[in-house]
């Protein structure tokens, strides 16, 4: 049988343990740094970017050349794209792939296939404008409103941040006759 004196001693010992445990928890919480401006900025929702296609013409005669760019608009702030992998799908009954143009300071690999061109690009300093790539096609037949679709599989910033989840694809092909 336990005496009152022994019970009180065990009770005092349990209280001391709880006090020590509370002090340790409090000390650990105090060791955590408070959020800084940089940490707050990182935790913000990433800027939404839009991907889109621009073609040099909407009406082509058979044998005519067409310039097509794949683009990602500039996000708010100074965040620049450093690397990407994109797929441009096209109708092989209407168009044939001819070549690609280099963008200043961007290393790239272009792999044309049957109805799709896979483009990968990278740069340490960031892509200089919204264009990820510039491709040339030739019309096999007369084409009105050439159809393309752009899928971007990877999109990373110069800070090594993956931004594919904040990328939205805009609708139909835009036309800009100055691309020629």
% of residues, the chain, pLDDT over 70: 71
pLDDT of residue 28: 42
What three-state secondary structure class fits 121?
A: strand
Q: Poorest-confidence range of 2-16, 122-136, 150-164? A: 2-16
pLDDT digits 0-9 by tens, 47-64: 678 899 999 999 999 999
User: Domain 47-179 carries which CATH code?
Assistant: 2.60.40.680
From 132, 131, 126, select the one nearest 80 (Cα to Cα).
126
From 90, 88, 89, 86, select the one nearest 106 (Cα to Cα).
86
CA dist 180 and 173 (Å) reads: 16
């Amino acid at each position: 049988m336990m005496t009152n004196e022994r019970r009180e001693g065990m009770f005092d010992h349990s209280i001391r343990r709880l006090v020590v445990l509370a002090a340790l928890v409090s000390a650990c919480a105090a060791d955590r740094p408070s959020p800084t401006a940089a940490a707050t900025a990182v935790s913000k929702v990433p800027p939404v970017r839009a991907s889109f296609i621009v073609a040099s013409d909407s009406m082509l005669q058979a044998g005519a050349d067409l310039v097509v760019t794949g683009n990602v608009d500039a996000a708010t702030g100074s965040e620049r794209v450093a690397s990407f992998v994109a797929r441009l799908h096209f109708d092989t009954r209407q168009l044939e792939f001819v070549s690609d143009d280099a963008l200043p300071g961007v290393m790239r690999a272009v792999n044309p296939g049957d109805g799709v061109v896979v483009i990968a690009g990278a740069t340490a300093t960031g892509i200089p404008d919204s264009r990820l790539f510039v491709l040339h096609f030739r019309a096999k037949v007369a084409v009105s409103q050439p159809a393309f679709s752009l899928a971007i599989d990877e999109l990373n910033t110069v800070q090594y941040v993956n931004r594919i989840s904040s990328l939205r694809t805009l609708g139909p092909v835009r036309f800009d006759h100055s691309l020629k």
